[in-house]
Amino acid sequence: MPAARVLIDGPSELVFDYAIPAGLPVQPGCRVRVPLRNKSSTGTVLAVSHDDPTDLGFALRPLHSLTDPEPLITPKLLDLARWIADYYVCSIESVVRVLLPEAVRTEENSAKTRKAVVLPAPPDPVILEQLAKRAPKQHAILAILTHSPDHQLPLADLGSVAGPSVKALASRGLVEIIDQEVRRDPDADGIDEILPTTDLPLSEEQQAALDAILATAADATRRPFLLHGVTGSGKTEVYLQAARHMLDAGKTVLVLVPEISLTPQTVRRFRARFAHIQDQVAVLHSNLSQGERFDEWHRIRKGKARIVIGARSAVFAPLPDLGLIIVDEEHENSYKQDQVPRYHGRDVAVLRAHLEGATIVLGSATPSLESWQNSLDAKYHLVRLTHRADGQSLPLIRVIDMRLEAKKQKSRDSFLSDRLRNAIEDRLAKNEQTILFLNRRGFARSLQCPSCGHVCQCPHCALALTYHRTDDRLICHICGHQAVVPRKCPECKDPAIVLQGFGTQKVEDVFHKVFPTARIARIDADALRKKNALRDLLNAFRARKIDLLIGTQMIAKGLHFPNVTLVGILNADIGLHVPDFRAGERVFQLLTQVAGRAGRGSLEGEVIVQTFTPHSPSIQFARHHDFDGFAEQELEMRRHFHYPPFSRCALLTVRSTHERRAEFTLQTLHRRLKETLPKGIDLGEPLPSPLVKAHGQFRFQLILRGPKARVLARHVQQVLQKTPLPEDVTAVFDMDALSFT
Ligand code: ADP
Ligand code: ZN
């Protein structure tokens, strides 16, 4: 008798083998009901083996039944799950749990039904006439049904008094009462009126990009596309038209965005373009109810929803006949999940496209250097949009040297330059809008001199040193290099070298004082906690009820407001000196994206960047809208120091409420990793994490680099398997880590 390996639903990742009763078509990916101790439970079949289980020396209990006639996970998605488990060093169970969202696994969510009344055949006129005289209510019901679509109506719609009449009609066989499946429609209320749009005539560049993308359907190699288009170049229009072609060809389309709530305009444009097939569009927000998620998931699986828009986890949407995957803003870090399984949505999308034979387009104005290097290596097919679609030029970017400003204003913590203040006053007078951007990354602190802009760096790693308050030291968290905190700036000898940082709240308070008549609003994580807060704020901004919008990283994404003519970046430096080799890349991306919010209408845009390090390459290349120049010099640095994309980089973190135990465990792991270290792997030193303590747990970490992800992952996995961890100590492995805190 064949056996099935079943992952039991529930929080604890139990896996058991069960015998498959004869005749039951159990396949991998099926959902089954199984006995568990003296109860029964549901689960997912991970694998089916045809070996004789009697070899085990004991009989397996048979599973009870299939809960769905067909597998819910397709063989290709199961392959994808296995790859993820292998690559990111996590259990297949943890991957299956994201593949089949809880809403789909939980039985209580099963399809919702309601009673409906159906007219099976047109009523006999003789009977109708009788009823009209003797039972006018029954007559009325038949008349309503005759004129209803499909000759049916929900029972509830007939009103509470109709019950007895319907029963009477049913008993004579004149109507039937059925259980009708109803979709819990997440858009039934709440989304604003959407005006349908049609394809725009494409520019030459757009047309060339679209042609290239559509041509792959016939191309056997199917390299992923990297669509590099400057902000406002019309990438979205290319996505929309590519998607339409795929739908017309009978295929389905998956669109990934960094975060649904922060990209309302992209979602809106897809809805508007596909308004004519609105019920085929599924938008997977994080705030769907369990019932809605269940229904959307099944609509997608059955091919009823043929275009799916969602964030990271939507990469697992069970679309049949997948023809096209679009990953918008492919450089965004939010594609990386920061919990197990720690997959990168973009990378998983690339693999999924490969497995499914689908076309994939990665789009960005600031591609990640990983994707960029892949295009240089001809692994990806590069297509470019070099002009703004509306013919406008890219905004003028001015860089303000805050070192001079600090001298001029005789104040070390001023964050508003004269230039920016004048520019804002000018916009207020002209009734144009301003976005002010406050760069806030993490808590990691670096030391920077306000006079000369000098930042304390590791001599070995080209990284900002992190200030550790506990032992008042500067530490490089790649190699462990330590330095004492200088009493004065090593460069210019100014004793005022300080820790950097201020918050949105403080900025807002100051701006209220400086511009007392301006209408000012702030967008940050706090402001977004309320439901619809972001939507309401953005709507107010669009309606020009706000003059000045202050925000963090959040507002850097695809927002499009024609009346915004000024964007100010208050502190371009902060992100530059975090201890992360991607710091320069992030700042370049951020400046470019934020600047891209200016001048998107008929009015020209201006961008003012305040910085203590005006000559930093990230700032200078962004100022000249020079992605290629930036990439070239940044890649040189990465190559020199063996950072990605020229190596794979992973982070091993050990956490515990006991500081010594966490530290000791990491040291033990480090020793074992070192003993059997495969050639080519560079093992970092065990060190306190920049975020030394979080959620009551002490954190220690080490960084590994190597040419091959698999070799690295396997080595760590083997050591972890052989090293029992003390109770209350957890080890977390993050392959292709994007955050090193
Ligand atoms: P991106 O996604 O590259 O930032 P968008 O797709 O948002 O760019 O395009 C910027 C603006 O240009 C939008 O208002 C869009 O409607 C408009 N646009 C795009 N393509 C065209 C076109 N071919 N003709 C006219 N306007 C266009
Ligand atoms: Zn170092």
Higher-confidence residue of 498 and 379: namely: 379
Cβ-contact 256, 345 below 8 angstroms: yes
Strand 548-551 to 520-523 pairing: parallel
Q: Is the C-beta atom of 234 inside 6 A of ligand 1?
A: yes
The burial class, CB within 10 Å (0-12 / 13-18 / 19+), for 244 is middle
Q: Is the C-beta atom of 374 inside 6 A of ligand 1?
A: no
What's the mean pLDDT in 34-39? 90
Distances (CA, A) of 406 to 84, 402, 486, 501, 657: 50, 6, 21, 15, 43
Closest C-alpha among 239, 585, 226 to residue 378 = 226
SS3 readout for 19-59: ECCCCCCCCCCCEEEEEECCEEEEEEEEEEECCCHHHHCCC
The burial class, CB within 10 Å (0-12 / 13-18 / 19+), for 149 is exposed
123 preceded by a cis bond (ω within 30 of 0): no
Closest ligand, as measured to the CA of 641: 2
Supply the pLDDT for residue 160.
Answer: 65
Question: Is pLDDT above 70 for 36?
Answer: yes
Indicate the angle between helix axes 345-356 and 75-87, nearest 10 degrees: 140
Cβ-contact 423, 606 below 8 angstroms: yes
**Distance from the alpha carbon of residue 209 to the mean position of ligand 2, in angstroms:** 43
Closest C-alpha among 206, 276, 196 to residue 237 = 206
Closest C-alpha among 344, 330, 374 to residue 646 = 374
For the chain, the average pLDDT equals 86
Secondary structure (3-state) at 675: helix
Buried b (16+ CB within 10 A) or exposed e, 641-676: bebbbbbbbbbbbbbbeeeebbbbbbebbbebbeee
Token couple for 78: 């199961």
Distance of alpha carbon 687 from alpha carbon 695, whole angstroms: 19
Q: Would you place residue 192 in the very low, low, confident or very high pLDDT band (cuts 50, 70, 90)?
A: low
Report the nearest-CA residue for atom 23 of ligand 1.
Answer: 202
One-letter amino acid identity for 572? Answer: A
Buried b (16+ CB within 10 A) or exposed e, 449-465: bbbbbbbbbbeebbbbb
Closest ligand, as measured to the CA of 363: 1
Looking at the CA of residue 231, tell me the nearest atom of ligand 1: 4
Higher-confidence residue of 58 and 133: namely: 133
**Sheet containing 322-328: order of strands:** 281-284, 307-310, 252-256, 322-328, 359-364, 225-229, 381-385
Distance of alpha carbon 343 from alpha carbon 355, whole angstroms: 17
Q: Would you place residue 393 in the very low, low, confident or very high pLDDT band (cuts 50, 70, 90)?
A: confident
Secondary structure (3-state) at 386: coil
Strand 697-706 to 687-694 pairing: antiparallel
Q: Which of 236, 273, 589 to mutate to test the pocket of ligand 1 (most atoms within 8 A of CB)?
A: 236
Residues in the chain: 741
Higher-confidence residue of 309 and 490: namely: 309
Torsion of CA 627, 632, 633, 637, to 10 degrees: 130
Higher-confidence residue of 474 and 714: namely: 714
**Distance from the alpha carbon of residue 338 to the mean position of ligand 2, in angstroms:** 25
Share of the chain above pLDDT 90, in %: 45
Q: Would you place residue 443 in the very low, low, confident or very high pLDDT band (cuts 50, 70, 90)?
A: very low
Phi, psi of 237 (to 5 degrees): -65, -35
Cβ-contact 662, 729 below 8 angstroms: yes
Q: Would you place residue 403 in the very low, low, confident or very high pLDDT band (cuts 50, 70, 90)?
A: confident
**Highest-pLDDT range among 229-238, 279-288, 459-468:** 229-238
Cβ-contact 584, 621 below 8 angstroms: no
Closest C-alpha among 636, 268, 614 to residue 453 = 614
- Count the Cβ atoms, other than its own, within 10 Å of residue 472: 9
Q: Would you place residue 299 in the very low, low, confident or very high pLDDT band (cuts 50, 70, 90)?
A: very high
Distance of alpha carbon 729 from alpha carbon 732, whole angstroms: 10
Question: Is pLDDT above 50 for 722?
Answer: yes
Q: Is the C-beta atom of 203 inside 6 A of ligand 1?
A: yes
Lowest-pLDDT range, 45-54, 578-587, 714-723?
45-54
Q: What is the pLDDT of residues 5-16, one digit of tens each?
A: 999 987 778 889
Cβ-contact 380, 347 below 8 angstroms: no
Residues with Cβ within 8 Å of 441's Cβ and at least 6 positions away in sequence, in order, are 553, 574, 575, 578, 586
**Distance from the alpha carbon of residue 566 to the mean position of ligand 1, in angstroms:** 20
Share of the chain above pLDDT 70, in %: 89
Secondary structure (3-state) at 3: strand
The burial class, CB within 10 Å (0-12 / 13-18 / 19+), for 125 is exposed
What's the mean pLDDT in 470-486? 78
**Distance from the alpha carbon of residue 27 to the mean position of ligand 2, in angstroms:** 52
Q: Is the C-beta atom of 386 inside 6 A of ligand 1?
A: no
What's the mean pLDDT in 649-663? 94
Token couple for 711: 């070799």
Supply the pLDDT for residue 461.
Answer: 67
**Distance from the alpha carbon of residue 475 to the mean position of ligand 2, in angstroms:** 8
One-letter amino acid identity for 51? Answer: D
Q: What is the pLDDT of residues 348-361, one digit of tens each?
A: 999 999 999 999 99
Supply the pLDDT for residue 301.
Answer: 93
Cβ-contact 50, 27 below 8 angstroms: no
Q: What is the DSSP letter of 686?
A: P
CA–CA–CA angle 654, 658, 660 (5° rounding): 75
Q: Which of 195, 204, 237 to mutate to test the pocket of ligand 1 (most atoms within 8 A of CB)?
A: 237
Question: Is pLDDT above 90 for 365?
Answer: yes
One-letter amino acid identity for 295? Answer: D
Distance of alpha carbon 314 from alpha carbon 334, whole angstroms: 13
**Distance from the alpha carbon of residue 690 to the mean position of ligand 2, in angstroms:** 13
Cβ-contact 260, 270 below 8 angstroms: no
Distance of alpha carbon 466 from alpha carbon 577, whole angstroms: 9
Lowest-pLDDT range, 262-266, 400-404, 494-498, 677-681?
494-498
What is the reported pTM? 0.84
Strand 112-118 to 176-182 pairing: antiparallel
One-letter amino acid identity for 401? Answer: D
Q: Is the C-beta atom of 232 inside 6 A of ligand 1?
A: yes
Cβ-contact 458, 476 below 8 angstroms: yes
What's the mean pLDDT in 429-450? 75
Supply the pLDDT for residue 442.
Answer: 43
Q: Which of 390, 393, 600, 603 to mutate to test the pocket of ligand 1 (most atoms within 8 A of CB)?
A: 390
Residues with Cβ within 8 Å of 528's Cβ and at least 6 positions away in sequence, in order, are 261, 534, 554
Question: Is pLDDT above 80 for 499?
Answer: no
Report the nearest-CA residue for atom 20 of ligand 1.
Answer: 234
Cβ-contact 705, 647 below 8 angstroms: yes
Higher-confidence residue of 547 and 264: namely: 547
Secondary structure (3-state) at 473: strand
Question: Is pLDDT above 80 for 494?
Answer: no
Residue with tokens 């956490």, as numbered in its chain: 655
Distance of alpha carbon 403 from alpha carbon 447, whole angstroms: 15
**Distance from the alpha carbon of residue 604 to the mean position of ligand 2, in angstroms:** 44
Q: Would you place residue 57 in the very low, low, confident or very high pLDDT band (cuts 50, 70, 90)?
A: low
Residue with tokens 């290097």, as numbered in its chain: 373
Cβ-contact 624, 582 below 8 angstroms: no
Cβ-contact 33, 64 below 8 angstroms: yes
Residue with tokens 């918050």, as numbered in its chain: 503
Strand 225-229 to 381-385 pairing: parallel
Lowest-pLDDT range, 29-33, 269-273, 334-338, 455-459?
455-459
645 preceded by a cis bond (ω within 30 of 0): yes
**Distance from the alpha carbon of residue 203 to the mean position of ligand 1, in angstroms:** 10
Secondary structure (3-state) at 433: strand
Distance of alpha carbon 427 from alpha carbon 435, whole angstroms: 11
SS3 readout for 203-235: CHHHHHHHHHHHHHHHCCCCCCEEEEECCCCCH
2 preceded by a cis bond (ω within 30 of 0): no
Q: Is the C-beta atom of 568 inside 6 A of ligand 1?
A: no
Question: Is pLDDT above 80 for 576?
Answer: no
**Distance from the alpha carbon of residue 554 to the mean position of ligand 1, in angstroms:** 21
- Count the Cβ atoms, other than its own, within 10 Å of residue 348: 26
Report the nearest-CA residue for atom 10 of ligand 1.
Answer: 232
Distance of alpha carbon 225 from alpha carbon 363, whole angstroms: 8
Looking at the CA of residue 560, tell me the nearest atom of ligand 1: 7
Residue with tokens 């240089």, as numbered in its chain: 376
Supply the pLDDT for residue 445.
Answer: 65
